[in-house]
């Protein structure tokens, strides 16, 4: 493991060491490399044909990715080409399959960019932390990436949908397939936003390979209404209610149900789960917009029990409320 040092790059590596360990990786030097020590091994200063990469990532003993560490404040996007070069210059005897080394991270300790080279048009995106090795192993076993699957969604069954709902679902799927991680849907009051969200959720779970979706609101009564609408929703062509196909959970103090495909929650409750701080039920009844005075930010650090891959999609209700810029 890199020890703390005064050089900016050494400090960055020390921070990245700790982040990798928090996310389930075992950090080793090249001389002590033991690929059987755990599901994910990050080997420091791993030699490639074009020089040493800061970390080579081994998933289930297979070389699968790289991490390039840069000092805090560095514009990370400028180093994606360098990380990609390391991917292509790995020792040939460790690369058995084309595209095997596909995961690329460029990190500074305070910022992380991630790119999956198995995507059709791979591009970097910011992530809050590293993915767990078990997640990368699962992705390695899947024949297509999530974004590739989004490009081959079946035609939307439009029966029972309004024109605005058809436009919303169709354009959202297209936006996600183009690797745009954020999208805004504007619909008039009474236009059926939750019905649209349920329609999208079903399609992403059934056809897009999504594992779990989070629906966020800022008041408990909205959470209850949303849960009830999801439970009652009947996906076209199935003859069944949503709840007969997928588990819908209203998030509580016990945390995320591992069997839930849709989790509905207030942002206050998610904050409580992430930080481990107790939350009274009454605190969810009032709008979080009203509960936080002065716009003071509520910050969280990485919680290993809720890794970044816990949700494939987050739907934020009434996202125009400034509260969502306060709870980060």
Sheet (strand 40-48) strand order: 26-28, 40-48, 51-59, 62-69, 103-107, 112-116, 125-127
Work out the pLDDT band at 4, boundaries 50, 70, 90. Answer: very low
pLDDT tens profile 233-286: 999 999 999 999 999 999 998 999 999 999 999 988 999 999 988 888 777 776
φ, ψ (nearest 5 deg) of residue 277? -85, 140
**Per-residue pLDDT band at 10 (split at 50, 70, 90):** confident
Neighbouring residues of 261: CB distance < 8 A, sequence distance ≥ 6: 205, 211, 212, 213, 246, 247, 248
Looking at CATH, the fold of the domain delimited by 146-325 is given as Rossmann fold (3.40.50)
More confident call, 191 vs 318: 191
Q: In the chain, what is the greatest distance between 2 CA atoms, to the nearest angstrom?
A: 64
Residue ranges with strand state E in 40-144: 40-48, 51-59, 62-69, 103-107, 112-116, 125-127
Domain boundaries, the chain: 8-141, 146-325
pLDDT tens profile 298-317: 788 899 999 999 999 999 99
324 confidence band (pLDDT: 50, 70, 90):
low
Residues 248, 203: Cα–Cα separation, whole Å: 15
Quote the pTM value.
0.90
pLDDT in tens, 86-127: 999 999 999 988 889 999 999 998 899 999 999 988 999 999
- pLDDT for position 58: 98
Average of per-residue pLDDT across 151-175: 95
202 within 8 A of 215, measured Cβ to Cβ:
no
Write 29-38 long-range contacts (CB < 8 A, 24+): 29/1, 35/61, 36/61, 38/133
Query: Comparing 231 with 321, which gets the higher pLDDT?
Result: 231
Fold for domain 8-141? tt1808, chain A (3.90.1570)
Closest to 270 measured CA to CA, from 229, 303, 236: 303
Look at strands 51-59 and 213-217 and give their pairing: unpaired
Q: What is the mean pLDDT of the chain?
A: 90
Residue-level pLDDT at 3:
47
């Amino acid at each position: 493991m890199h020890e703390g040092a005064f050089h900016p790059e050494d400090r960055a590596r020390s921070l990245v060491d700790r982040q990798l360990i928090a996310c389930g990786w075992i950090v080793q030097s090249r001389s002590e490399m033991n690929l059987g020590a755990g599901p994910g091994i990050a080997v420091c200063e791993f030699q490639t044909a074009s020089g040493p990469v800061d970390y080579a990532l081994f998933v289930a003993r297979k070389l699968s990715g790289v991490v390039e560490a840069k000092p805090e404040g560095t514009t990370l996007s400028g180093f994606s080409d360098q990380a990609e070069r390391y991917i292509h210059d790995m020792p040939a005897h460790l690369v058995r399959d084309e595209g095997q080394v596909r995961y690329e991270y460029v990190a500074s300790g305070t910022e992380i960019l991630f790119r999956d080279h198995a995507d059709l048009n791979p591009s970097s995106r910011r992530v809050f932390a590293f993915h767990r090795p078990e997640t990368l192993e699962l992705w390695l076993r899947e024949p297509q990436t999530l974004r590739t699957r989004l490009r081959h969604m079946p035609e939307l069954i439009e029966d029972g949908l309004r024109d605005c709902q058809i436009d919303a679902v169709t354009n959202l799927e297209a936006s996600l397939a183009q690797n745009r991680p954020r999208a805004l849907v504007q619909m008039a009051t009474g236009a059926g936003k939750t019905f649209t969200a349920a329609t999208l959720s079903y399609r992403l779970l059934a056809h897009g390979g999504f594992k779990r979706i989070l629906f966020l609101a800022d008041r408990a009564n909205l959470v209850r209404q949303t849960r009830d609408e999801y439970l009652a929703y009947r996906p076209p062509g199935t003859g069944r209610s949503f709840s007969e196909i997928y588990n819908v959970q209203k998030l509580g103090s016990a945390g995320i149900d591992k069997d839930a495909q849709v989790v509905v929650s207030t942002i206050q409750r998610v904050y409580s789960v992430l930080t481990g701080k107790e939350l009274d039920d009454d605190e969810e009844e009032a709008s979080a917009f009203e509960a936080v005075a002065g716009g003071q930010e509520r910050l969280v650090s990485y919680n290993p029990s809720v890794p970044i891959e816990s949700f494939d999609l987050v739907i934020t209700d009434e996202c125009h409320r400034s509260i969502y810029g306060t709870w980060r």
